[in-house]
């Protein structure tokens, strides 16, 4: 189910999108690829050269990030260029912010209960 956030005209992440997001961010290599592509657009070849793994393995990591919509891949000649998708990163940040707000609220309620002298 998609819940629309009318203040920004964007929708919250669906359960499937959230699952793909957390799966993509679960691996250190993918987080590093995302960091590199936030800093600058990178060719898959340049990314592969940065890791001690096969080109095919890096391609698979990029594919997972692409499936989560965290990166966008485009062709330029024979090269495949990868860049981070700032819209999805903003949506992910908003999701994490909502989780943070939820947990802070729960902790505040727990603190209030513990501070209540009637208990």
State the DSSP string of the chain: ---EETTTTEEPPPHHHHHHHHHHHTSHHHHHHHHHHHHS-EEHHHHHHTSSS-HHHHHHHHHHHHHTTSEEEEEETTEEEEEE-HHHHHHHHHHHHHHHHHHHHHHHHHHHHHH-TT-
Domain count, the chain: 1
Range with the poorest average pLDDT among 21-25, 53-57, 114-118: 114-118
Residue 7 resides in a domain: no
pLDDT at residue 43 tops 70: yes
- How would residue 10 be classed by pLDDT, with cut points 50, 70 and 90? low
Domain that holds residue 108: 12-115
Residue 2 resides in a domain: no
Give the tens place of pLDDT for each residue, 61-81: 999 999 999 999 999 999 999
Residue 4 resides in a domain: no
């Amino acid at each position: 189910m998609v819940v629309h956030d009318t203040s920004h005209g964007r929708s919250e992440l669906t359960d499937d999108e959230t699952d793909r997001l957390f799966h993509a961010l679960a691996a250190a290599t993918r987080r590093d690829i995302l960091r590199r592509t936030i800093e600058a657009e990178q060719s898959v070849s340049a990314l592969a050269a940065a890791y001690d793994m096969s080109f095919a393995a890096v391609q698979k990591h990029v594919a997972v990030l692409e499936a989560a919509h965290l990166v966008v891949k485009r062709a330029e000649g024979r090269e495949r260029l990868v860049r981070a998708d700032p819209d999805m990163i903003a949506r992910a940040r908003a999701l994490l912010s909502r989780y943070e707000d939820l947990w802070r609220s729960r902790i505040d309620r727990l603190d209030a209960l513990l501070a209540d002298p009637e208990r």
